[in-house]
Amino acid sequence: MEYQKLSDAFNISNAEVEALYSEMLKTTEESKRLNCRSCGFNTCEQMVAAIFLGMKHKSDCVQYAIYEAELHKQMQKNASTLVGELLTMCYLVEKERKNVLESFERFNAVMQMFDASVGNLRKALAYLIKPQ
């Protein structure tokens, strides 16, 4: 049997073939030619044709399942890192909020002392300038 290009045999464009490979997370030439046969076909190209014809699904590709699992693992790791960073940021924001509140309380205490001092100064001045 003579080799026939996938695009010729099934009337599928090269762009459609590449799109299917991309959906299967096969982005390198090596991954497109892995031909592990776990899907039941002799070549990855035959698997792409079966997917195109609706006979198979990309999840029937063992390598796709491995790539997807690795991708999910990396996403979980990234999410975990982000959560850790967010918790750290929340801690720092809360710490800074407490510092601002403490500064505000000190400012209020100083203002009360100032108000008391001004009040006492007014009384003293009023006493001094009060005609006797």
The residues spanned by each domain of the chain are: 1-60, 62-132
The reported pTM is 0.55
User: How far apart are the C-alpha atoms of 23 and 44, rounded to whole Å?
Assistant: 13
Tell me: the pLDDT tens digits for 113-131?
888 888 888 888 887 787 6
The answer, yes or no, to whether residue 7 has pLDDT greater than 60, is: no
pLDDT score recorded for residue 65: 92
For the beta carbon of residue 35, count every other beta carbon within 10 angstroms.
14
User: How far apart are the C-alpha atoms of 104 and 121, rounded to whole Å?
Assistant: 25
pLDDT score recorded for residue 26: 93
Type of residue at 112: Q
